[in-house]
Amino acid sequence: DVKVTQSSRYLVKRTGEKVFLECVQDMDHENMFWYRQDPGLGLRLIYFSYDVKMKEKGDIPEGYSVSREKKERFSLILESASTNQTSMYLCASSLTTGGYNSPLHFGNGTRLTVT
Amino acid sequence: DQQVKQNSPSLSVQEGRISILNCDYTNSMFDYFLWYKKYPAEGPTFLISISSIKDKNEDGRFTVFLNKSAKHLSLHIVPSQPGDSAVYFCAASAAGNQFYFGTGTSLTVIP
List b or e across A64-86, with b for residues whose CB sees 16 or more CB atoms inside 10 angstroms.
Answer: bebbbeebbebbbebeebeeebb
B51/A43 Cβ within 8 A = no
Task: Kindly state whether A29 is in contact with chain B, defined as any CB-CB distance less than 8 angstroms.
Answer: no
pLDDT in tens, B40-62: 888 999 999 999 999 999 999 99
CA gap B104, B38 in Å, rounded? 9
- List of chain B residues whose C-beta atoms are within 8 Å of the C-beta of residue A41: 103
Quote the minimal CA–CA distance from B72 to chain A in Å.
Answer: 18
Least confident of A65-74, B48-57, B89-98: B89-98
Confidence of residue A39 (pLDDT cuts 50, 70, 90): confident
Secondary structure class of A8 (helix, strand, coil): coil
B43/A43 Cβ within 8 A = no
Backbone angles phi, psi at B14, to 5 degrees: -75, 145
Identify the pLDDT of residue B57: 96
CA gap B59, A24 in Å, rounded? 29
Quote the minimal CA–CA distance from A48 to chain B in Å.
Answer: 8
Quote the minimal CA–CA distance from A94 to chain B in Å.
Answer: 9
Chain B, nearest residue to A58 by Cα: B98
